[in-house]
Structure 1
Amino acid sequence: MTTTLLETKALRAWYGAAQILYDVDLSVRRGEVVALMGRNGAGKSTTLKAIMGMLAKRAGSIRFLDHDISRTEPHHAARLGLGFVPEDRRVFTDLTVMENLEVGRQPARPPVPGAADGADAPLWTPEKLFKLFPNLGEMPNRPGGRMSGGEQQMLTVARTLMGNPYLVLLDEPSEGVAPVIVEQMAHMILQLKSQGVSILLSEQNMHFAELVSDRAYVLEKGQIRFEGTMAALAASEDVRRAYLSV
């Protein structure tokens, strides 16, 4: 039986008095890539921030590795092995690539609790990450502020992986970067999946989501309107026209 790493039930969230999420139920299993899709403003980024604990006001149930993180701070989720890659990157511009990676370093983690095969969680080092992101390997001493947007995106992902997460929340990885970087991001996600890392990614790009995802949830105005396999979403023109087309 596949281990469920993350599960939300009736997740609600607010910015001030404005409610953004309405009873969002979703789950991510071990070794799975799940796409959270929807138009701009649908609530995708808010969902990831609510799961991570970055919103002042949220309600409902959030369980990660069978821990209740519904009311915990972001650092608590990170210590449990939940990684977060924000859409706006947030690299330390005055620090070098290597220094940015060191900021994210956490100790090695035990095998995934409840996993039948007892496989160890991936242990990431700068050397392994430079194989995954060759661009970064060519500039270990470059300050983050002197990198392109795509390179900063890679660095943010790599810094998160230095925490050896069981699951990564990845916010809009294909947004605003060159097509060649989008290809590298897709390759990276598939590589992570092959090493047992689970990913919940928010995404608008249907082609990108199809390349990497096993299942999908579609959000509209803070509510889940579709859940199913990525193949089922790709085959449903009605759903895509109603909730994803611009």
Structure 2
Amino acid sequence: MTGQDLDGRVALVTGGAQGLGEGMAHALAAAGAKVVVADVQTDAGAKVAEAVGGVFVEIDVTDDASWEAGIASAVQQAGGLDVVVNNAGVEITSLLVDLEPEQARTMLDVNVLGTALGIKHAFRAMRPDGAAGRGGVVVNVASVAATIAFPAISVYSATKSAVDRLTRVAAMESGKLGYGVRVNCVYPGLVPNEMGANLAGDVARIGLFASPDEAVAAVVDLTPSGRLASTEDIARAVVFLASDQAAFVNGAGLPVDGGMGM
């Protein structure tokens, strides 16, 4: 047994049907956790849940009632709740001069409100008088975008900066109110998944770079480690923060960006 053994713990991952969330679900399951995959993509989410030996719950992270019902279902199906990973997020690329209010509201709703509601319902379930009632861990997913000034992702960057602030205030509230829940966040670097590829294509289409490959090369050039992040890089960091090895890590942001945001 190691400090990253999550045997006997229940971990819920939002946006778990694909991308980083799917990778986190697999990593948490490999560490021994019973994984609850939460998503609005029911078919894809159920397949990931089956693959990791977990369960699926449908949660629209922007909807308070959906969170309440989803957490109740997760606790009932999995027998508790010890870890909530607020991973669900959306990025819509735009120059500020072309900003569409509805697109900005979508990012604010999913990335900021969705994370805040995730913290709310994690606290309610995991605090001493909650349905799970044994404390736990919340891991929020911010982004290197919160720490750099990369063009065409202004609102996305702002939402991920908000995730950082939510994390720190939530950790303080949990401590002061005796909830027994640690709250931290990770700052992933650019990952060559669907979201990353779309971003590279978008900034090239806007004219900031000659091609998507040039955009990716620019990111790599800004990264001391000399490569993009992998899904596994981010997932391992989430497992660490969920584990007893991070027992005294609280209210912190962990960069997993190869040094890009330093």
- Whichever structure has more strand as a proportion of its residues is 1
Superposition TM-score tier, normalisation by shorter sequence: 0.3 to 0.5
TM-score by length of 1: 0.34
TM-score by length of 2: 0.32
- Whichever structure has more helix as a proportion of its residues is 2
